[in-house]
């Protein structure tokens, strides 16, 4: 979603499409993508630090979006 700037629905549609096109389970594709990003970070340190702050405080904003 973040990297492609798409909605959660569109992101899932893309993963599902790739899964069907390659006959690879969605779960397996997602695990591989996460492993690839972990091995080749796409974000610099400052962006990673800001993301860490967002992660650690996300629960405080859950009510704001009408979850």
Model confidence pLDDT, tens digit, residues 19-54: 999 999 999 999 999 888 888 877 788 888 888 898
Residue 66's pLDDT is 57
Which whole-number Å values give the CA distances from 55 to 11, 13, 17, 19, 58, in the listed order? 20, 24, 28, 28, 5
Of the pLDDT bands very low, low, confident and very high (cuts 50, 70, 90), residue 6 is: very high
Q: How long, in residues, is the chain?
A: 67
Burial (CB count within 10 angstroms: exposed 0-12, middle 13-18, buried 19+), residue 60:
exposed
Looking up tokens 């389970």, which residue turns up? 25
pTM confidence score: 0.65
């Amino acid at each position: 979603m973040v990297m492609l700037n798409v909605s959660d629905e569109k992101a899932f549609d893309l993963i599902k499409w790739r899964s069907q096109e390659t006959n690879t389970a969605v779960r397996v594709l997602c695990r591989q993508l996460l492993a690839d990003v972990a091995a080749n970070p796409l974000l610099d340190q400052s962006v990673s630090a800001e993301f860490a702050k967002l992660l650690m405080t996300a629960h405080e904003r859950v009510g704001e979006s009408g979850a």
